[in-house]
Structure 1
Amino acid sequence: MTEGPAALDLKGVRIVPGLLDPTAQAALLKELRALVAAAPLVTHSTPRGKPLSVRMTAAGRFGWVSDRKGYRYADRHPSGREWPPIPQPLLDLWALLVPGARAPECCLVNFYGEGARMGLHQDRDEADLTQPVVSLSLGDDGLFRVGGTVRGGPTRSCWLRSGDAAVLEGPARLAFHGVDRIRFGSSTLLRDGGRINLTLRVVT
């Protein structure tokens, strides 16, 4: 981890540029490859049956899943396997960024291929909404957009680059947010391109 530039404020969401240097990013990517080998990426669908453009897996006590039954946390991968543990570097990052928070129980791993996006949404499937959500970007740049806590109204955007972190906490914990697009091929971290977004959160 590096000190990097000063944190930025994006409608209450704390953006921490350059938190992980290239060496730390490469080391974390190696751990993520082992994680995905244990819990392969899955293409979930909305309750209406539309496939999501982002492929997902998770680590920790819980993972997030979505299908005809709805959006929810589950204690096992769709294959029936237990989720692998959250890698220690991510636990260290959580402790650094939100030292007063409870330990994270889930790390979502979202992979954005070329053309993938994530519409504006709130993270509100968790039981304790006083606890923060910490997000880390790896790979290609992603255009991150943040709105208010009510759908509609003005939004602001910034490009998140490999090694950048974002923290949703306090009044911004329930801010609508999403990724409009990625700048495919903008990073050399992933051999075939794409973006990985890791989000740590407390579920219970």
Structure 2
Amino acid sequence: MDPFSPPEGFRLLPGLLDAAAQRRMAAGILALLDDAPLYHATMPKTGKAMSVAMSNAGRLGWYSDREQGYRYIERHPFTGRPWPAIPEAVLDVWRDVAGYDPAPECCLINLYRDTAKMGLHQDRDEADFSAPVVSISLGDEALFRLGGTTRRDPTRSFRLASGDVLVLGGAARLAFHGIDRVLPGTSRLVPGGGRINLTLRRVTRP
């Protein structure tokens, strides 16, 4: 018997975005990266660079470095410019699926290429966990791993395709999750290949 049971509040919405919506959203995100170029955040204490390239949109952006660790900042760490606004099409997804009125303050942009992956972690750098985390997949498929609220809980891998939307709310808001690997060549959406993941978060209390 499979011991895994998804935490309450986990929702996977396959194919929520059709092909045309995916193309428009990806083009908008790639254009935004001209103002907020990708970077590789580093791990606290060790300073090891993460394999995933990142940027942000919104009032706040997620960042990490050796000296100060995980946190949200108001400006791009290398250009010093404010983060660009979250595209309206991305906000529409939040309004459709979040069930939470205040708008997200951060859209973390992760670009996975080649062997990039993300280890199991919780999203807990925010002040209020009552807002869900909404994740949008664009480009190559990926193996997404979901666990429970402790590292000891069983996990299961789910295949995420371009256009899929995932919601972590309720008990699942603090579920451990990560990306085991990306499946190269499963999409032509992202120039040069790879997967773009957009993670929408409310950071402060309304």
**Alignment TM class, shorter chain as reference:** over 0.9
Letter matched to residue 126 of structure 2: E
For the residue of structure 2 that corresponds to 1:37, the secondary structure is coil
Distance in 2, Cα, partners of 1:100 & 1:178: 24
Distance in 2, Cα, partners of 1:154 & 1:200: 26
In the alignment, what sits opposite 1:29?
26
Contact 2:11–2:167, Cα closer than 8 Å, also in 1: yes
For the residue of structure 1 that corresponds to 2:12, the secondary structure is strand
In the alignment, what sits opposite 2:76?
77
Distance in 2, Cα, partners of 1:100 & 1:72: 23
Moved runs in structure 1, 4+ residues, more than 4 A?
Answer: none
For the residue of structure 1 that corresponds to 2:157, the secondary structure is strand
Distance in 1, Cα, partners of 2:21 & 2:184: 21
TM score, norm. by length of structure 2: 0.92
1:103-182 equivalences in 2 (<5 Å): 103-182=103-182
For the residue of structure 2 that corresponds to 1:52, the secondary structure is coil
In the alignment, what sits opposite 2:65?
67
Flag structure 2 segments of 5+ consecutive residues without an equivalent: none
Total equivalences in the alignment = 196
TM score, norm. by length of structure 1: 0.93
Q: How far is the alpha carbon of 1:10 from its aligned partner? A: 4.2
Identity %: 57
1:37-56 equivalences in 2 (<5 Å): 37-47=34-44, 48-56=46-54
In the alignment, what sits opposite 1:100?
100
For the residue of structure 2 that corresponds to 1:115, the secondary structure is coil
Letter matched to residue 159 of structure 1: R
Distance in 2, Cα, partners of 1:52 & 1:199: 17
